[in-house]
Amino acid sequence: MRFTDLMQLVISNLRRMVGRVVFTALGVVIGTGAIVILISLGAGLQSSLTSSLESFGAINQITVFSGGGGPQGGSDQALDARAIREFQSIPGVEAVTPRVSIGGTYQLNRLQGGATTYGIAPLAADDLGLAVERGTNRLSRGTIVVGPKVAEQFFDPRRPQTEIEPPDLFGQTLLLQLSRFDPETGAQEDRTVRLRVGGVLEETGGETDFNVYMALDDVEELTAWQQNGVSPRWEQEGYPTLIVITQLDPAIVQSVEGQIADQGYFAFSIGSSLQGLNTFFLIVQAALGGIGAIALLVAAIGIGNTMVMSVMERTREIGLMKAVGAHNRDVLTVFVVEAGIIGVLGGIVGVIAGWLLSLIINVVALAYISAQTAAQGGADPGIDRIAYTPLWLVFFAIGFAFLIGLIAGIFPALRAVQLDPVRALKYE
């Protein structure tokens, strides 16, 4: 038989049992929809967490602390000039820069504000990915570069509960207020440092939006003052933190991070965290997809049962097909294709239903999260979606449903092939 004749026969047969086809395909719809929804939830959560992690910094930056236990240290390995040279010699490393922090409060006229202030090498801003929206990111003595959200941290101390319009900090001179205590008398001594804002960073949605960056020499001098004239001697005794910038290849980031950790330092990077997160969610999505696949396998039993009943009802028709010259492969093709079409129709409807439910979940869940956050006075968590349906999932779900239908139709098709034409024609 020609392929077109076979397809016409398949379509005609499916039309004759449209009610049974609909109820059988409904099981496939439920199974496919379950796969789409569950995997979409996993993919959406992965996407949100990945975006949150990426906002904390570039994926090719490795933060190195002096100890194997974290930022508090605890190791004899110092992050001194020798360590910087060793890190720079590791293949794949493009730059190494110290980073130290200093406390204090900023003042602009009558406004006050707080921000984390980091001291970095004057030309390290480009290596750290600190792009400016206004001004320059080149640091010099007496200048600072501020994140775009720093202005929002300012308030009027006379009316601390009143919201104010964030001031334009670019080009302004801020007063950094520092304090120290006399080790003998315990008396507090204050100092005010004038700093000009030379640049405002581009908004990234991450930590850098709230930071202030200052030349490393300035931070060293101010730290010495806070320590009552004792110079920190970071180059000799070790910096609190080093930032290692590598090539963008995730494999290189992981390799460099491992080599640094092998030397006894604590190393952390967003890149390695993302890799671990992606591995975890790959397992989660496989598990969730497996749960949905169970429902689809149950639907396959329904397809098989429908096709077995179809074989019994069409026994004489099968005998007639064979009597007029149809080959066994033609009979096999008819029943397998019928089962496959039931599977693919259910798969298409299931994907659409799963996608629509994912959209509903997004709207309802995000509205609930926003309402709860607002009620508790918290900041916007920055979650843009709870469920996300990737394109590959659409094709996978439909293809899997089609495959399940084909497999479910094999046994009934083989049963039809084995029918004897003479006995089939006499079947009542």
* pLDDT score for 74: 45
Question: SS3 of 403, please?
Answer: helix
Higher pLDDT, 11 or 38: 38
**Could you tell me where the DSSP H helices lie in 58-189?**
81-88
Total Cβ atoms within 10 A of residue 235: 14
Total Cβ atoms within 10 A of residue 212: 26
Contact 305, 295 (CB under 8 A): no
* pLDDT score for 212: 93
* pLDDT tens by residue, 336-352: 888 888 889 999 999 99
User: Average pLDDT over the chain, rounded to whole?
Assistant: 82
Q: Which amino acid does the sequence have at 96?
A: V
Contact 119, 219 (CB under 8 A): yes
Strand partners, 292: none
* pLDDT score for 41: 86
* pLDDT score for 72: 47
* pLDDT tens by residue, 24-33: 888 889 989 9
348: left (phi > 0), else alpha (psi -120 to 50), else beta?
Answer: alpha
C-alpha gyration radius of the chain: 34
Question: Which helix or strand (DSSP H or E) is residue 245 part of?
Answer: strand 241-246
Across 359-365, average pLDDT: 87
**pTM (2 d.p.):** 0.63
Backbone angles phi, psi at 155, to 5 degrees: -150, 165
* pLDDT score for 353: 93
Q: Which amino acid does the sequence have at 348?
A: I
* pLDDT tens by residue, 70-79: 444 445 578 8
User: Residue 44 pLDDT > 80, yes or no?
Assistant: yes
* pLDDT score for 71: 47
* pLDDT score for 369: 76
* pLDDT score for 423: 63
* pLDDT tens by residue, 152-204: 999 988 887 888 888 999 999 999 998 888 777 778 888 899 999 999 999 88
Strand partners, 135: 199
* pLDDT tens by residue, 220-276: 888 888 887 777 777 777 788 899 988 878 788 888 988 998 888 888 888 777 777
Tokens at residue 80, please? 């001194």
Across 64-86, average pLDDT: 71
Q: Is the dihedral of CA 118, 122, 126, 127 positive or negative?
A: negative
Nearest-angstrom CA–CA distance, 27 and 65: 56
User: Residue 356 pLDDT > 90, yes or no?
Assistant: yes
User: Residue 422 pLDDT > 60, yes or no?
Assistant: no
**Could you tell me where the DSSP H helices lie in 197-314?**
216-226, 234-237, 250-262, 270-313
